[in-house]
Chains A and B, each alone.
Chain A
Amino acid sequence: MSDNPRMAHPDTTAEERGKLIEGAIDVQLSPQLAELRDHIVEAFGDLEVIGFRGELTLVTPPEQVTDLLRFCRDDPDVACELLADLSGVHWPGGVHQRIAQETTGWPVYSDVVEQGRIELDYILYSLTHHHRLRVRTFLPDEEPRIASVTPLYASANMMEREAYDFFGVVFEDHPNLTRVLMPEDWEGYPHRKDYPLGGVDVQYKGAVVPPPDQRMY
């Protein structure tokens, strides 16, 4: 941790952590995706657009997600018939710290995040135009609720159940919001960052190796 005398290295900022290594190329948005971005931003004014590594991401508040997805599905220029994926990432609140290793000075950071968030990403795919875009939204950590998109895409059924199972996100008007991969009476939401990995110590001939999330490296 930071009071370890060997870890005498400054915290790296988010910008430094985003820098590419020497010789790597940052792919830009293709013209097709740039056109698509302009078309969508025209219809929905207040969207934040990210073009990281050539992938189009639209960041929107949770209330607007259903409208945006409906637009993407019904508009003939966007025409996203397939909801490919719905994934979640948990960014917990408080001090967000990651230590690499005791032995080297590779990046350690401690960001302070005021409000924990759960990020939901909807990956949409169009078969007619062959483009893919991502709709991102952030939900508060405490009581994440968002409207279900099952009326728009039936594939969201299983994916939303999984997001509920692993992050605790409640999708309103979902036909059957129950745990899908964990046992039905399981408590806790495993993929959250405050849920432990849950491994056991491994003992062998007198030595004890703790589970991976409690090791120093």
Chain B
Amino acid sequence: MSDTTDSRKTLEPRHEYTVVSGEWQDLPEAVPDDLMVINMGPQHPSTHGVLRMVLTLDGETVVDNEPVIGYLHTGIEKNAEFRPWVHGVTFVTRMDYLAPLFNELGYCLAVERLLGIDDEVPERAQVIRVAMTELNRISSHLVWLATSGMELGAVSAMIYGFRERESILDLFEFVTGLRMNHAYIRPGGVSQDVPEDFADRVRLVLEEMPRRIDEFEDLLTDNPIWLERNVGVGVLGREECLDLGVTGPLLRSTGVAHDLRKIDPYCGIDTYDFDVPTADSCDSFGRYQVRMAEMRESLKIVDQALDRLPEGPVMVANKKIAWPAQLGLGPDGLGNTEEYVSKIMGQSMEALIHHFKLVTEGFVVPRGQVYAAVESPRGELGYHLTSDGTNKPYRVRVRDPSFIHIGTLPYLTRGLLVSDVIAAVASLDPVMGGVDR
């Protein structure tokens, strides 16, 4: 344990200790009586999930904040090494559980780049991917709004946020069959086509949503209590953000219009007409404004996607990769269509073997390493996939934005009061599934 005071920090603590693991029990004697070390979490109603913060307080002001994470570590990255490439989608989708389609999309983009079939993914699949992920962005921001509101005391925001989210989850269930953790986006396209009245149902939601977002803004944006709690809280300037590796709404709240959808586009998303909202205040309120504006931009993108939805297949044509099932809605539910079953069981032995091989072993991906990133609601979600030329990944490494953002907590919360810490963490919007993977 060492006693250091570092001149680059803005708030000058009277004593500052650097404690490494194994030395926490020595801390109480060393810390003078006027500093209090308090543990916040991992079970806490106001931290976003199982995040533990060890706060060193001078009265009510935070002198230091050490985040302790790992309470949700699932070993997804290692688990994916023992499953074929397609099964990786179901693992990876459960990391950032508020934006599952983004996880799937990033993984599939990386697999497609390794396979070399980036350009062969059909247009219809690309447009469906864009529409679904932008809807997911809206639902993720709604959960952020709901939980932030609840943590700061605006419990109505919680109820309204989840109500709006239900309409979007209904859409997801309509298309993929699941409300959350859909393994919908697969390498090569999407697993099944959207139903016929998809466009109509989405338009119903798109009509309602702007009014609902207006309701939120009426409740919160000019609310003096909301302003008091959010303006000036959790300030992280542009240089600090870049140094700390921060991307996403936090970086955009410092005025930098950095959005991977415009700069490093995927699925043709740069051909859609939308703006990248920014704010200048670098604080929690700026992030609130950025996210509300992003929700409206996403509505625009979904609208354009529905307009341009072309006809065609939704899975890549290359038979060595494409998921072989031909799904249809029958009398007993969703499953392979009658004609496909009769073909593989009765008519063609090759088709049966092909289906069997692809479903049990999966396709083979050439050797190499690729990094593919998407703009998730939290920031840059990157996938670093290494293949050794077999049907299972060699290493799946996920660059999750929330993990990097947790590293900013000591700087974000220094000098704040304890309740401001909650507002700052809420504006960070960490999802512990992504942090701990």
Contacts and interface: CB of A to CB of B under 8 A. Distances in A.
The reply to whether A and B meet directly (CB within 8 Å) is: yes
A44 interface: no
Contact of A25 (B73, B116, B388, B395): B116
A64 interface: no
A176 B256 CA distance: 30
A53 interface: yes
Interface in B383-431: 384, 386, 388-392, 394-395, 397, 399, 403-404, 406-407
Given A55-B371, A100-B390, A157 B114 contact: no
Contacts of B21: 178-179, 184
A21 interface: yes
A191 interface: yes
Contacts of B69: 180-181
A19 interface: yes
A14 B258 CA distance: 39
A24 interface: yes
Nearest to A57: B369
Interface string A43-61: 0000000001101010000
B96 interface: no
Contacts, number: 179
Contact of A123 (B20, B258, B384): B384
A27 B79 CA distance: 30
A98 interface: yes
B244 interface: yes
Nearest to A24: B116
A96 to B, nearest CB: 8
A101 B368 contact: no
A87 B397 CA distance: 7
Contact of B75 (A27, A53, A190): A190
Contact of A130 (B242, B264, B436): B264
Contacts of B366: 17-21
A158 B430 CA distance: 15
B341 interface: no
Interface of A: 12, 14, 16-27, 52-53, 55, 57, 81-85, 87-90, 98, 100-101, 103-104, 106-107, 109, 121, 123, 127, 130, 132, 134, 153-155, 157-159, 162, 175-184, 190-191, 197-198, 212-213, 217
B361 interface: yes
B360 A101 contact: yes
B320 to A, nearest CB: 6
Interface size class of B (residues with CB under 8 A): 35 or more
B82 interface: yes
Interface stretch (B117-125, B174-182, B199-207): B117-125
B116 A155 contact: no
Contacts of B284: none
Contacts of B318: 21-24
B90 to A, nearest CB: 13
**Interface-centre pick from B114, B380, B390, B394 (highest chain A CB count, 10 A):** B390
Contact of A191 (B77, B244, B389, B399): B77
Given A20-B116, A121-B369, A217-B361, A85 B242 contact: no
Interface of B: 18, 20-22, 69-70, 73, 75, 77-79, 82-83, 113-120, 242-247, 256, 258, 263-264, 318, 320-321, 357, 360-361, 364, 366-371, 373, 380, 382, 384, 386, 388-392, 394-395, 397, 399, 403-404, 406-407, 436-437
A184 B69 CA distance: 11
B368 A53 contact: yes
Contacts of A53: 113-114, 116, 368, 370
A42 to B, nearest CB: 24
Nearest to B394: A89
B184 to A, nearest CB: 23
A100 B370 contact: no
Nearest to A184: B21
Given A178-B21, A182-B73, A85 B389 contact: no
Given A24-B117, A127-B256, A101 B70 contact: no
B153 to A, nearest CB: 30
Contacts of A98: 388, 390, 392
Contacts of B395: 87, 89-90, 191
Contact of B407 (A57, A89, A158): A158
B213 to A, nearest CB: 29
Contacts of A127: 242, 256, 258
A212 B264 contact: no
Contact of B264 (A85, A132, A175): A132
Given A18-B368, A26-B116, A101-B361, A12 B389 contact: yes
**Interface-centre pick from A12, A82, A123, A212 (highest chain B CB count, 10 A):** A82
